[in-house]
Amino acid sequence: RVANAWGAVGDAQQADALFSRLKTAAASEPVGQTKALIYRDAARLERAQQQPERAQQDYRQAMVAGGITPTLPQDNDRYTYLTRNNPGDDWLK
């Protein structure tokens, strides 16, 4: 929450530093919502800072931490598939 608050008031550097420490600590934690939210929120900040590669990596970590997939999706097709809300969703719809 504190890292998100720093980001919300425009101090992206402070928010990024907090998220960096949180991600390091979360790496050794078991799969769960708290861990997934850390990676998701860090990715949102990175996306806002125009760092798409870092953001995508953290979104991938969030998928693993949230139990969506047991391993990091390495290819973009698998990653895109996992972002669908419904298995029948099509990006063209």
Q: At what angle do helices 52-65 and 33-48 cross, to 10 degrees?
A: 170
Phi, psi (degrees; rounded to nearest 5) at 63:
-65, -40
* pLDDT band at residue 89 using 50, 70 and 90 as cut-offs: low
pTM for this structure?
Answer: 0.82
What the block records as the tokens of 83 is 């972002």
What is the average pLDDT across 12-16?
Answer: 95
What is the average pLDDT across 12-27?
Answer: 95
pLDDT digits (tens, 9 = 90+) for 21-79: 999 999 999 999 999 999 999 999 999 999 999 999 999 999 899 888 888 877 878 87
